[in-house]
A and B are shown apart, each in its own frame.
Chain A
């Protein structure tokens, strides 16, 4: 029976949560910087760090209050050690490790993607190991075989842009605010399918890798060639979404076929996309497998997944007390799981 405080600060959200190994998630809170970065057309790393250092501590107090716990109740502090923006990671790491030092409790360094990967286990019903995970966020697109906590095999990944990045860049070309993924998908609802044909990069590559960088060039051409009336923009959005979603769905199916597994788990911000969900659900019925999504609030970066991953990790590993809090802005999840 342990109480874990989780701290996430790898990019543009400060997420703090309290997870109890028996009672589950007790409280979580999030400060998103999206509105701030929006004015700059993308995440400004220095501004992200400046925001984290203002919000981390008040948010820690907020979750303690929400859960009616005191700091003395915490057994371990989990924090995101990477990958991510180094300055941003350092804020979470310094608060986490110094607080742990003062409370005389250990810390657990969590891999951000492991947080995403395990986040569907926070939902009910939860998948059981082993499963295939499609990790689709602003910075990553990977298919993983997950055999247990820390047992990850990379099946395929993007060779260039991430799926979220593809959504965001397409959105930008359509004049939508940053990050435009969700806005593009909203616009696409009014679009008619098939008016514009966009490439499906690497759909038949025979492996499980992705490539999305060509898509933006194709979209740019379509945007330049056509008048930008509302319907045309919606039709282009629809075409972009259809292209990205189709590739994600097809490759996920191939991954299930290859591994022979019957559970697919979707993690990361793009997992919020309704078209993706609809097509996966349909495919799941057709090919009789089960698909799991994290609750919407846990799709994007959050503290709950970090506290939770920390809790699962604790069952395998001694939490550490050496209080060095170096971060790992670049950190391969596969390497990490092999190293353990």
Chain B
């Protein structure tokens, strides 16, 4: 099975090809220039692999949470690719991608959500599968949901921006931390491969973002 994955929810742009378990990946720091880089990077990745888009079995994308615009670019591109190549899609939570890439078994993943908030989830690996013991949520670092047990690994930009508050919140439970970790397409591809294998892939039109922050403006009646 061959899966093409893309991830654009942060200032990085990454693409990956999962081929029966082997992953090749490209990642670049692009700031806000995902739209200029994404398809070109994808094209190079495919050319290097010797495959074309028509040879793929599915498209995977980082569905968020993350930059709204970035996540929508991933969704739009996943939709277009999947429609054009007649493929199904699987969206992967960026926080789970952080857990996957950490190489640990107990991970609190947190991404900077701006406006003094973070996107946060906690995952534990049971028999090779990630279980979300805290489902992805939007919160202030000081109100982050509690976890049980020790030796948790903290991953993602949430720990850079709100490191002190999160450390205060989890204290001794936090055994290690990697605030530089970013969600990348390689991890997205690995997690999507599991979904494809389970038959959980969906139609191209279902390539939609997971925003978590839903209140983005006030209605006239609420002002």
Which residues of chain A have a CB within 8 Å of any CB of chain B? 39-41, 44, 46-47, 49-50, 53-54, 56-58, 60-61, 71, 86-87, 90-103, 322-327
Contacts and interface: CB of A to CB of B under 8 A. Distances in A.
Contacts of B42: 101
B79 A57 contact: yes
B220 A39 contact: yes
Contact of A94 (B43, B73, B217, B220): B73
B39 A98 contact: yes
B54 to A, nearest CB: 8
Contact of B216 (A46, A90, A99, A323): A46
Given A57-B79, A94-B35, A94-B72, A50 B84 contact: no
B142 to A, nearest CB: 26
B68 A102 contact: no
Given A94-B77, A323-B43, A39 B219 contact: yes
Given A95-B76, A95-B80, 12 more contacts: A47-B217, A53-B72, A53-B209, A54-B208, A57-B205, A92-B76, A94-B75, A94-B80, A98-B80, A99-B79, A101-B42, A324-B37
A138 to B, nearest CB: 18
Contact of B221 (A39, A49, A60): A39
Q: Quick one: which of B37, B42, B83, B221 has the most chain A CB within 10 A?
A: B83
Contacts, number: 119
Nearest to B211: A50
B76 A102 contact: no
Nearest to A101: B39
Contacts of B68: 46, 49-50, 87
Contact of B36 (A53, A92, A101, A324): A324
A102 B217 CA distance: 36
Given A39-B220, A102-B80, A324 B72 contact: no
Nearest to B213: A46
A94 B221 CA distance: 34
Interface in B151-170: none
B88 to A, nearest CB: 13
B39 A323 contact: yes
Contacts of B209: 50, 53
A92 B75 CA distance: 11
B146 interface: no
Interface string B40-57: 101100000000010000
A85 to B, nearest CB: 11
11 contacts: A46-B216, A61-B205, A87-B69, A87-B72, A91-B76, A94-B72, A95-B76, A95-B80, A99-B80, A324-B36, A325-B35
Contacts of A325: 35-36, 39
B27 interface: no
Nearest to B56: A102
Q: Quick one: which of A54, A57, A96 has the most chain B CB within 10 A?
A: A57
B83 A99 contact: yes
Contact of B80 (A39, A49, A101): A101
Contacts of B220: 39-41
Given A44-B216, A44-B217, A87-B69, A60 B39 contact: no
Contacts of B72: 49-50, 53, 87, 90-91, 94
A67 to B, nearest CB: 16
Given A46-B216, A95-B79, A102 B84 contact: yes
A98 B35 contact: no
Contacts of A60: 83
A90 B43 CA distance: 19
A160 to B, nearest CB: 24
The 8 closest A-B pairs by CB, nearest first: A102-B84, A98-B80, A94-B76, A99-B80, A323-B39, A98-B77, A44-B217, A41-B220
Q: Quick one: which of A46, A71, A99, A322 has the most chain B CB within 10 A?
A: A99
A71 B205 contact: no
Contacts of A87: 68-69, 72
B85 interface: yes
A98 B76 CA distance: 8
A83 to B, nearest CB: 16
Given A57-B204, A58-B205, A98 B217 contact: no
B217 A324 contact: no
Contacts of A326: 33, 35-36
A53 B217 contact: no
A57 B75 CA distance: 11
A322 B44 CA distance: 12
B218 A40 contact: yes
